[in-house]
Amino acid sequence: MNLFLEPTPLPDVLLVRHEVFRDARGFFMEVYRRDLFGPLGLPAEFVQLNHSRSSRGVLRGLHFQWEPPMGKLMRVTAGRAFLVAVDLRKGSPSLGRWFGREHAADDPVQLWAPAGFARGFAVLSEEAEIQYLCTGTYNATGESGIRWDDPEIGIAWPLADPLVSDRDRRAQTLAAWLARPEADRFRFPEEPPA
């Protein structure tokens, strides 16, 4: 299997392209291979796989988890969606910057964003399914979110009037998150909290 990593404007956020074998029956691709991921600097081990299905216009995010720290390898397995990562790492030259890209099931490119990044997505097709491998197990007391429309971040979502959950609508701003003591868990370069 061939695996190709493509940098993005955000340090440590990568596009992961896999060799895809296609014929008249469909396609086959290896989504994850421990022996290949580690040597390329990707996590060699994931502990949770999440699967989300949403309708057109749904926007989920921006979510992150600090305890345990959670990186996510996201891919669209049905439909089309705009996947986003936002840098939350104190001391990072790209703190508060975002990267977003349209992903589609028929172009199976994955988006890797390590712990210290908030992630979200917006559905562009009638329905979309997003799956993401996680480096940490979910912990409701160690996770949070940033407002999807925080003007300090300024994400150019490709939706005029997205359908957002009450929880995501009430999420804190980036400035409010950075004022919390938990924000010290994400530092650039990665260093243990003081």
**What would the pLDDT profile of 63-82 be if each residue is shown by its tens digit?**
999 999 999 999 999 999 99
190 inside domain: no
191 inside domain: no
For residues 150 and 175, give the distance between their C-alpha atoms in angstroms, rounded to a whole number.
9
**What's phi and psi for 68, nearest 5 deg?**
-75, 155
194 inside domain: no
Residue 127 pLDDT exceeds 60: yes
- Has this prediction a pTM greater than 0.85? yes
86 inside domain: yes
Q: Domain holding 14: CATH number?
A: 2.60.120.10
Q: Choosing from 18, 32, 63, 103, which is the catalytic residue? A: 63
Q: Choosing from 18, 32, 103, 132, which is the catalytic residue? A: 132
For residues 123 and 125, give the distance between their C-alpha atoms in angstroms, rounded to a whole number.
6
Kind of pairing, strands 14-18 and 80-87? unpaired
Angle in degrees, CA 73, 36, 189, rounded to 5: 55
Q: Which domain range does residue 32 map to?
A: 3-185
**What's phi and psi for 24, nearest 5 deg?**
-60, -20
The widest CA-to-CA distance across the chain, in whole angstroms, is: 57
Mean pLDDT of 72-97: 97
166 inside domain: yes
192 inside domain: no
Give residue 22's pLDDT: 85
| Catalytic residue flag (residue 103) | no
For residues 53 and 75, give the distance between their C-alpha atoms in angstroms, rounded to a whole number.
12
Kind of pairing, strands 127-134 and 48-55? antiparallel
153 inside domain: yes
State how many domains the chain has.
1
Reported as a pLDDT band with limits 50, 70 and 90, residue 18 is: confident
* CA nearest to 168, candidates 75, 81, 58: 58
Model pLDDT for residues 30-49, shown as the tens digit of each residue: 888 889 899 888 999 999 99
Reported as a pLDDT band with limits 50, 70 and 90, residue 108 is: confident
| Catalytic residue flag (residue 63) | yes
